[in-house]
Amino acid sequence: MEGHNKGAVSGVILNPKNEILLQFKDSGYPWFQEKWCCFGGAIESGEEPIDAFLREMQEELGGKLKEINYFKKYVGISDTHRDGKQFRLYDVHVFGAKYTGDISDIRLGEGGGFVFLSRKSLDTHPIIEHDKKFIKDYLDHYLI
């Protein structure tokens, strides 16, 4: 995916019940097919991480976030393309935020669906492993 050489952004987005908003990557995605993940994407050339995060959230969720905070940079995240040949290594800037809209307001710009999951449900869904780490680290840090 072009742009990943600049890194990526990912969001741990919580609703008022502290459930985590996740996106489903359907079979049309070349990376992480049939997995749940945090919303986010590549940092474009000339963008700062916060600008990339805000852009991605606008594109994917139509905004409606508050209490946006920078959490942590994870270095050396790797993954393999579905063809088993392509590989990428990049850094991910993780942000936290609260989703302030109604669930019916969500209009996905990409992905095959979305869900709000409780912390207890994280281990019962096929979630991308590094995203699961981002989420658990964030929740542990903020004692959620």
Q: What pTM does this model have?
A: 0.87
Instruction: Compute the distance between CA of residue 5 and CA of residue 89 in angstroms, rounded to an integer.
Output: 8
pLDDT of residue 108: 76
Check residues 21 and 1 and name the one with the higher pLDDT. Answer: 21
pLDDT at 1 over 50: no
Instruction: Compute the distance between CA of residue 100 and CA of residue 97 in angstroms, rounded to an integer.
Output: 9
The model's confidence at residue 3, banded by pLDDT at 50, 70 and 90, is very low
**Residues 28-50: tens digit of each pLDDT:** 766 677 889 999 999 999 999 99
Pair 57, 15: CB distance under 8 Å: no
Taken in order of first residue, the domains within the chain and their CATH numbers are: 4-141 (3.90.79.10)
**Residues 60-103: tens digit of each pLDDT:** 887 789 999 999 999 877 666 556 666 666 899 999 999 988 88
Average confidence (pLDDT) over 47-61: 93
pLDDT of residue 30: 63
